[in-house]
Every structure is written in structure tokens, then in C-alpha cells.
């Protein structure tokens, strides 16, 4: 299997490598997106560094519904009595930095073990909306944000993951991460339905990712982005960490998602290679 980013979206010249100047600094990488050649032979992707895009999960990790007891570790063996330590996990699968499999909303959609591994190794495009989100907790990534990104970095590469960096992970550990108002409505950024439909219909995107608790913005009452996205049999990622540490384009995301039969998602280890 050829990894995503090698199928059809390849560098114009395989031997040509560039240094991409990013907001985060100068990062070694290969230009993708701007110079797409359809049906070219696969080009190698390369990296020198690994960045962890995963939050540590524990029982204090905030949940969308505010529910407690999403994560419990029951000690069942101990080094003192048994020679080794072992826990039984009791985990509600949509918690922490985690995958939404299509089956979460789609009766016909793939559950975790059915997602092709080739789609889990993917070029990562990061759209920075921190300024907008700082002014409006209910900010929704728009088509205009995507177009502005493409004006700078070129067309989104085929089979990529598009991540929203709203800066919201800075609020983890404070009430602002869920940002619940007195009526019980949450307030944090997400993708707009128009942007989700644009990525689904006008671009070739494997997955979308957010640094908040939901692909939909906090006040959503209909999960319209979840519905539009997951029913197209694509995956999503929520509560992604450390998006400030990766460039807008050039990283490869490896989605270390659980391969548990019938699971509709679950805590995932996300590692970006740059």
C-alpha cells in the first residue's frame, strides 16, 4: 500500500527538496499541494523529527457531555502480590485525543478496525484560526479560511488531514476548554458545515481534526459537521494537542488509532513526522 500523499499528490520533482518557511520557523519538508501531478509515480516522504500531538488521558480529562467516569483504571494485579502490575480499563471510547470512526454516526460506516491503514498515514494541513477564536469562542472554520490557506500554501494535497488550530488546547485544565454557559450550551470553535462540505465535495481529504472537544462548534445542536463528514465514511480527530509545533504543511500525520472490532472511535496516539 502506498501511503497517502504518495498516491497522486507528489512533488513536482522528486529530487527537489525545499525548506518551507512557516510561522513556527523553518522546517525541513517537501512541498506538496501546489504542484500536484496526477498519476505520477510514488515519491518518498521523509522526516527527521517526531512530534506528539496527543494529550495525556486521565480521569480528569474533560468530556463533551461533562460526564465523569469516562476513564477508570481498575488495578487487578500488583507487583507485590503477582509480580507485575496490570489494570483493567473502563473507558468510554470518545475521550481524550481520539478518533471518530465513521460508524460513530453512520450505520454503514467503517468501525475502527475497518479503516484502511493507508488512510491513517497522511499529509497534515493545519489551518490557524487562533486570532478569530480569541475574539469569538463560537468561531467556525469557513471556506474563506481554507481559501486563504491555499493562497499561501497551494491546493490542499490529496488524501490529507485538515486540522483546525484554534489555540483551544491552551485552555485545557481550565473551565474555558468546555466553556459551558448557564444554559448548558458549550462554546468553543469547530468546522462550519459549509467548510466540511467543501472539504468533502471539492477536495480529496481523508480526515478533519480539531483541538477542541467536537468537530462541530460548541453550540451546535444538530452535529451537522459530524453527520456530513462521518456519513461520507471519512474519519475525524478531536482534542488534538500541540498543533503549534507542526508547520501549516509538510508534516506527515500517523494516526495510531485503536484496531478494536466494532469500536466507533477511541483514544489514539497521534504522531506527526516532520
C-beta of 57 vs 148, nearer to a copy of itself: 57
User: At which residue does the C-alpha cell 471519512 appear?
Assistant: 234
C-beta of 24 vs 143, nearer to a copy of itself: 24
C-beta of 137 vs 220, nearer to a copy of itself: 220
Query: Rounded to whole angstroms, how far apart are CA atoms 89 and 68?
Result: 15
C-beta of 129 vs 236, nearer to a copy of itself: 236
Task: Pull the grid cell for residue 261.
Answer: 472490532
Helices 143-153 and 193-202, interaxial angle, to 10°?
50
C-beta of 146 vs 251, nearer to a copy of itself: 251
Residue 141 CB, shortest distance to a copy of itself, in Å, is 22
CB of 240 closer than 8 Å to CB of 97: yes
Residue 8 CB, shortest distance to a copy of itself, in Å, is 13
C-beta of 131 vs 262, nearer to a copy of itself: 262
Residue ranges in contact with a copy of itself by CB under 8 A? 1-3, 6, 28, 42-52, 54-58, 71, 73, 76, 79, 83-94, 96-97, 103-105, 107, 113, 117-118, 120-121, 223, 226, 254-264, 266-269, 271, 273
Q: Which helix (H) or strand (E) holds 165?
A: strand 160-165
Read off φ and ψ for residue 75, nearest 5 degrees. -75, 120
Query: Rounded to whole angstroms, how far apart are CA atoms 263 and 101?
Result: 8
Residue 97 CB, shortest distance to a copy of itself, in Å, is 7
Query: Rounded to whole angstroms, how far apart are CA atoms 145 and 128?
Result: 9
Query: Rounded to whole angstroms, how far apart are CA atoms 96 and 94?
Result: 7
Nearest to 217 by CA among 181, 193, 233: 193
Residue 178 CB, shortest distance to a copy of itself, in Å, is 18
Residue 136 CB, shortest distance to a copy of itself, in Å, is 27
Nearest to 139 by CA among 163, 162, 166, 161: 166
Residue 196 CB, shortest distance to a copy of itself, in Å, is 16
Amino acid at each position: 500500500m502506498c501511503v497517502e500523499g504518495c498516491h497522486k499528490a507528489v512533488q513536482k520533482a522528486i529530487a527537489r527538496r525545499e525548506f518551507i518557511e512557516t510561522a513556527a520557523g523553518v522546517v525541513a519538508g517537501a512541498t506538496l499541494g501546489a504542484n500536484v501531478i496526477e498519476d505520477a509515480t510514488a515519491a518518498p516522504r521523509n522526516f527527521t523529527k517526531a512530534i506528539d500531538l496527543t494529550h495525556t488521558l486521565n480521569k480528569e480529562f474533560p468530556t463533551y457531555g461533562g460526564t465523569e467516569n469516562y476513564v477508570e483504571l481498575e488495578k487487578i494485579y500488583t507487583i507485590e502480590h503477582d509480580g507485575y502490575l496490570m489494570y483493567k480499563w473502563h473507558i468510554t471510547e470518545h475521550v481524550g485525543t481520539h478518533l471518530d470512526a465513521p460508524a460513530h454516526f453512520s450505520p454503514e460506516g467503517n468501525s475502527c478496525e475497518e479503516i484502511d491503514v493507508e488512510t491513517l498515514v497522511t499529509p497534515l494541513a493545519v489551518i490557524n484560526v487562533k486570532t478569530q477564536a480569541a475574539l469569538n469562542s463560537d468561531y467556525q472554520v469557513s471556506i474563506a479560511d481554507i481559501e486563504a490557506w491555499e493562497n499561501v500554501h497551494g491546493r490542499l494535497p490529496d488524501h490529507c488531514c485538515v486540522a483546525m488550530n484554534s489555540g483551544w488546547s491552551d485552555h485545557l485544565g481550565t473551565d474555558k476548554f468546555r466553556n459551558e454557559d448557564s444554559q448548558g450550551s458549550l462554546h468553543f470553535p469547530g468546522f462550519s458545515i459549509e467548510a466540511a462540505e467543501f472539504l468533502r465535495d471539492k477536495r480529496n481529504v481523508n480526515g478533519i481534526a480539531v483541538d477542541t472537544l467536537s468537530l462541530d462548534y460548541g453550540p451546535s445542536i444538530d452535529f451537522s459537521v459530524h453527520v456530513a463528514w462521518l456519513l461520507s465514511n471519512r474519519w475525524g480527530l478531536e482534542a488534538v494537542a500541540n498543533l503549534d509545533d507542526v508547520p501549516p504543511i509538510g508534516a506527515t500525520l500517523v494516526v495510531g488509532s485503536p484496531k478494536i472490532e466494532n469500536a466507533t472511535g477511541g483514544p489514539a496516539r497521534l504522531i506527526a513526522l516532520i
